[in-house]
Each structure stands twice: as C-alpha cells, then as structure tokens.
Amino acid sequence: MPEGDTIFRAAQTLNRALARKVVTRFESVFPALTRIADDTPIVGRTIESVRSLGKHTLIRFSGGLTLRTHMRMNGSWHIYRSGERWQRPASDMRVLIATSDFVAVGFNVPVAEFLSDRQLARHPQLRELGPDLLDAGFDRVEALKRLRAREEAIGDALLNQRVMAGIGNEFKSEILFVAGVDPFKPAASLADDDLERVITVARDLLRANVLPPARTLSTTIGRRTTRSLDPDRKLWVYGRAGKPCRRCGTPIQTRKTGIDARASYWCPRCQPR
C-alpha cells in the first residue's frame, strides 16, 4: 500500500505538471465520475491545485469541484507528456486527466469520487483523519493526545489514520526501531517522552522521503530510513526477518498483529520490552 510519502510525492509532481492548466480531456471507467463529467463538464475547467492529505490525493478544479482518490494496495498515478507511451496497459487506466502538455493517468485506482466544496468539508473519512505528518501545520499536541488515548499496541496505533495520517506498515516498523520502542507495548502505557520521540521520528523519516521522483509516481519508488546511500542498506528492519540487526547484530524478528494481520519487524535488543 502506498504510504504518506509516496502520495505526497505524487501530489507534488501532479501539481507541478497540472496546476493552472486547462483540462483538454477527461476519461474514467467509474460511472459516477463519468456521469458528473457529462452533467458538469470537466473539460474546460482549470486545475487549481493537487495536494495530498494523509493517503488521499485531492485534485481541485475550478468551479468548486475536487477529485478525491485513494490508492489502497495497488493504485498509482503516472504523469506523461502528450503522446508519450504509457508504462502500464490501457486496461489498467481508471482515471485520465489531460492538458495541452501532460497526461495524468490513475492506474488501478480503486477509490475515486468528485466532491463539491461542501461535500469535501463534510467528508467523513477526511474529517476523521489525524494530524498529517507531512503537513507544514502538523498539530503535534493533537497527535500526542490521540496517540496517548490508544489502548492497542503502539505498532497498530501508528497504522490508524485517525491517530496520525501517513504511516503505513513499512514506516511503522522503521519508526519504532529508530525510536527504540517495542511495537507490542500498548500506546497508552508508554511515557510521554517515548510518545514524543515516536512522533519526532515519524515526522523526520517521512519528510526525508518526500524528494520528488524522477518520473513515475508508482509505489516502486525507493524508500530509505537509514540515510545510507548503499542500495542494500535502505531499511533498518522491515522485511529483514532472521537477518542481523544493522546496529547490534541480533536477528530481526517478525510477528503479525492487528485486525488485518500486518507484519511487524523489530530487534528484541534495540527495542526491549
């Protein structure tokens, strides 16, 4: 599943390519989008901005209309110059927005809807989001309050977008390793200093991974949490079960937890219980 850094980079790239441009072509396989586009044409509108909100992408058009997309597990936005060959088959296209210069294609996007300004302000999923870790106005006090209130394991609490928006499974394990926190301790049982450190590390790691990609906006973009330039040392613990900890040499362990049985990776020595 694309995490907050991937969605943020995608929105930045889409914004650079599309903002202040007039839509020359719009297509979608979603009947609800097509119906709105037929009733209130998207072609001819100006794309005012593209931004991310947690794991949501919001494309705002003139006339008070916003396209919200969510990538779930397999969706991605790609940007191409007009006439450039796509890297994915046309059968995977779900949404297409073209201007005179660029074509933005949403491949395998599972969630897409047009929202009026009023609907956007009242949207239940957006209103319930916790503070966005990549937002310049990130509310640290509110994030700490929400995290402190969670009774579940800290690893599961970090995946709850109502606590803080933007963290996925990979970042979850990496954040807790860098913070030195056991992923299975109940969030509410941790001292404020520990929770503050988790929040600080979360912001630092996500912000370090939002440099714009060279071209494609897919989930294959490399992610680094170790700050190492070695391509074989990109991550501390995620996906490294049984391998030696990069800090102490102890074998990395893994366990699935939570409703969705998401895997956690940790070092039992660097993250003591």
Q: How many CA atoms lie within 13 A of 85 on its CB side?
A: 1
Q: Of the listed 3, 48, 170, 174, which one is catalytic?
A: 3
2 tagged catalytic:
yes
3 tagged catalytic:
yes
Q: Of the listed 48, 55, 170, 172, which one is catalytic?
A: 55
Q: Of the listed 2, 48, 131, 152, which one is catalytic?
A: 2
196 tagged catalytic:
no
Instruction: State the catalytic residues.
Output: 2-3, 55
